[in-house]
């Protein structure tokens, strides 16, 4: 038996949880070659292949890289100077800086001649800054309506991207614009500089000519074509998704029905004729001839049907001479007459044109004053054409009663009138906005339509304007914008509907026809305010209602409550811009109208066809489309924009025609004396 092997050494293990393990062995440092040899043949082949591939790619990219670096380092001083001049940069040598008064900006023409030779040769060329990296836009809202930059998915088709070049320093659109929206029509290349929506000049390559160039506005013909294109785009959507129906829902690509009478199509008839869109007009006329029927068991609103359908048909008849439209006007006019069968002769608001019955709204026996006093132009004209006095007698009875009624306040009328008693109700509230606005408009326009002979109409109009100046006019702080507020039981509410922006044009029209000159002064002030209702909004589009600051508490003139931030593509401001330009020839009114059209194209245009109202004019990233194109966008808004940009003053001459409140021109009656 063997005894255990005797050990002549002691093995000791030292351990530490924070130290590396020790194995009592020797650590040999392997060479790279030894590691390489330990790899398999396949692994070595793959590594060699990758290295060769990277080497070849480097050789191929070398020329382009060297060319870029050479372009940065070897640029001539002349090229640097031209680029700096284009960007508005001219370094001034030390010791030659002229004294500058505070608040004064010097241009090239302001630099003394003796300084110019030194300025022409900058000693050190400035390299351009690399383009700034843009932070990707945050996405808000449901996935279907997420944005791409400043454009929502409801505006951009799949695979279609916005192609707008932006100036990095100013954040404004560059001179040359290729827009997915399709309505940015530029001036001819090489002929003139185009002002942007904010009046920014284009740049030129030749620095020596920069001092002699001045801003040049876009040619009128370009803007006219832009309106025509916008109409075609809206019509494309209506034809594709809502043909023969009342309204287009452009986002959902369907239609909405109000009366079921093709409101948009009828409202747009005379617009197509005025814009010279013959093909579109021809297909619309065919629909009127073969499809339009008023023999329907449907309730319609007397006011809306009169101004849109009756007015549209009468206007189209006068412009075209086509008796088809007069026959249809006679039909609808006759079917609306049951509305006047009330105890007071003040018409009901609703008529069933199939049954021949009428009634007030279910919740009240009142009609709004605007509704019963803004149907006179159309029914009077229908009587003149048909030689049937019943239409004119019915509406003029309403006018006479309102003229005699108690309850006015310095010519201002309450908003409601009872169809049984014929008296004003809910007295104490006075506004030029909803429910009362077109009463004042039609006082003046009836007087003009009849050849300025009906003095009671003129007296009521003049008294009302004095009442506005006395009771409703105020100025904002800090910018002193003049606005028309609302009076409620003696208390002024600094609130103004966008609807009130009809007033500058109406005042100017009166002044043009011999009314007091201070009417024009007031028109100029209110026109500026209506412009600011657009310009101070982030989208460049006005809210439905604005609240004005009488005290400078937050540095703003205009506040907008969340419930009032929608824009319905309304026409009132561009209507007044049209009148103001016709009478003053001040090009700024055209520029303001151009700004509005561009904003419509930017925030409301739907690529598949049509334009949509929006819910938030304060949010340019996501303005919350409402999926509805009102008929008045084609009937009024685009028509007034076209007339604003047209140089033909005889195109719907304001000495021969008067527009109804839906922008349908009706002739001023020839004098019989």
Q: Which residues are annotated as a binding site for Ca(2+)?
A: 661
Catalytic residue, chosen from 229, 304, 454, 528, is 304
Binding-site annotation, residues:
661
Active site residue 572: yes
CA 488 to chain centre: 31
Q: Are 518 and 531 in contact (CB under 8 A)?
A: no
Q: What are 366's strand-pairing partners?
A: 418
Three-state DSSP class for 229?
helix
- Do 659 and 665 touch, CB atoms closer than 8 A? yes
Buried b (16+ CB within 10 A) or exposed e, 34-64: eeeeeeeeeeeeeeeeeeeeeeeeeeeeeee
The one catalytic residue among 544, 591, 630, 662: 544
- Tokens 């839906």 identify what position? 662
- Residue 509 CA to residue 523 CA, distance in Å, equals 10
Helix extents (H) in 453-502? 455-471
Both tokens assigned to 276: 């010279």
402 vs 369: CA distance, rounded Å: 9
Burial class for 413, CB neighbours closer than 10 Å (0-12, 13-18, 19+): buried
Name the token pair of 35. Answer: 């590691």
Side-chain-side CA neighbours of residue 280 (13 Å): 26
Residue 387 CA to residue 406 CA, distance in Å, equals 34
Q: Which residue has the tokens 């013959």?
A: 278
User: Quick one: 13 exposed, middle or buried, by C-beta within 10 A (0-12, 13-18, 19+)?
Assistant: exposed
List the catalytic residue out of 572, 575, 591, 636.
572
Backbone angles phi, psi at 605, to 5 degrees: -80, 135
Annotated active-site residue in 437, 441, 557, 627: 437
* Residues contacting 137, CB < 8 A, separation 6+: 147, 148, 149, 150, 621
Q: Which among 628, 18, 8, 623 is positioned nearest to 263, based on CA atoms?
A: 628
Active site residue 636: no
User: In which residue are the tokens 């001040």 written?
Assistant: 586
Catalytic residues: 304, 437, 544, 572
């Amino acid at each position: 038996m063997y005894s255990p092997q005797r050990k002549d050494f002691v093995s000791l293990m030292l351990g530490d949880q924070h130290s590396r393990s020790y194995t009592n062995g020797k650590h040999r440092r392997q060479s790279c070659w030894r590691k390489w040899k330990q790899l398999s043949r396949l692994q070595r082949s793959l590594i060699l292949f990758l290295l060769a591939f990277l080497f070849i790619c480097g050789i191929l990219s070398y020329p382009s890289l060297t060319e870029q670096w050479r372009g940065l380092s070897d640029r001539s001083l002349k090229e640097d100077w031209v680029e700096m001049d284009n960007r508005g940069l001219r370094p001034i040598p030390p010791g030659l800086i002229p004294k500058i008064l505070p608040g004064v900006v010097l241009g090239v023409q302001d630099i003394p001649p003796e300084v110019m030779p030194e300025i022409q040769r900058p000693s050190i060329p400035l390299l351009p800054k690399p383009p700034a990296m843009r932070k990707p836009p945050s996405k808000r809202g449901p996935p279907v309506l997420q944005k791409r930059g400043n454009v929502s998915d409801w505006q951009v088709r799949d695979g279609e991207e916005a192609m707008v070049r932006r100036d990095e320093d100013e954040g404004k659109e560059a001179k040359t614009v290729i827009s997915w929206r399709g309505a940015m029509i530029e001036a001819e290349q090489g002929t003139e500089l185009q002002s942007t929506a904010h009046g920014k000049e284009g740049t030129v390559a030749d620095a020596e000519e920069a001092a002699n160039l001045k801003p040049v506005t876009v040619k009128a013909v370009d803007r006219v074509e832009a309106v025509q294109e916008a109409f075609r785009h809206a019509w494309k959507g209506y034809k594709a998704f809502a043909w023969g129906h009342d309204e287009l829902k452009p986002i959902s690509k369907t239609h909405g029905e109000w009366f079921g009478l093709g409101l948009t199509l009828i409202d747009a008839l005379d617009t197509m004729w005025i814009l010279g869109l013959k093909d579109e007009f021809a297909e619309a006329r065919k629909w009127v001839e073969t499809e339009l029927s008023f023999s329907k068991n449907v309730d319609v609103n007397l006011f809306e049907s009169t101004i849109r359908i009756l007015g549209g048909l009468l206007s189209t008849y006068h412009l075209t001479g086509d008796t088809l439209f007069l026959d249809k006007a006679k039909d609808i006019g006759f079917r609306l007459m049951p509305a006047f069968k009330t105890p007071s002769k003040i018409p009901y608001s609703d008529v069933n044109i199939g049954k021949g019955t009428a009634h007030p709204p279910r919740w009240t026996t009142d009609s709004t004053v605007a509704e019963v006093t803004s149907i006179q132009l159309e029914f009077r004209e229908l009587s003149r054409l048909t030689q049937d006095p019943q239409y004119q007698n019915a509406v003029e009875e309403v006018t006479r009663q309102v003229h005699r009624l108690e309850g006015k306040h310095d010519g201002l009328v309450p908003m409601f009138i009872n169809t049984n008693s014929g008296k004003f109700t809910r007295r104490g509230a006075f506004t030029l906005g909803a429910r009362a606005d077109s009463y004042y408009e039609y006082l003046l326009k009836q007087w003009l339509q009849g050849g300025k002979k009906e003095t009671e109409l003129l007296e009521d109009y003049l008294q009302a304007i004095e009442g506005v100046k006395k009771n409703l006019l105020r100025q904002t702080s800090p910018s002193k914008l003049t606005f028309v507020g609302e009076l409620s039981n003696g208390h002024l509410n600094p609130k103004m509907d966008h609807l009130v922006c009809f007033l500058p044009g109406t005042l100017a029209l009166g002044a043009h026809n011999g009314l007091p000159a201070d009417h024009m002064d007031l028109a100029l002030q209110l026109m500026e305010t209506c412009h600011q209702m657009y310009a101070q909004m982030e989208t460049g589009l006005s809210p439905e209602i604005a609240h004005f600051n009488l005290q400078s508490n937050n540095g703003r003139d205009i506040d907008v409550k969340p419930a009032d931030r929608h824009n319905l593509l309304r026409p009132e401001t561009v209507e007044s811009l049209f009148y103001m330009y016709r009478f003053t020839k001040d090009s700024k009114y055209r520029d303001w109208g151009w700004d509005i059209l561009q904003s419509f194209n930017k925030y409301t245009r739907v690529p598949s066809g049509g334009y949509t109202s929006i819910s938030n004019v304060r949010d340019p990233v996501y303005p919350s489309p409402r999926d509805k194109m009102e008929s008045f966008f084609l009937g009024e808004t685009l028509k007034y924009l076209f007339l604003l940009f047209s140089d033909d003053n005889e195109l719907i001459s304001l000495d021969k025609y008067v527009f109804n409140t839906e922008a349908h021109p009706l002739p001023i009656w020839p004098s019989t004396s």
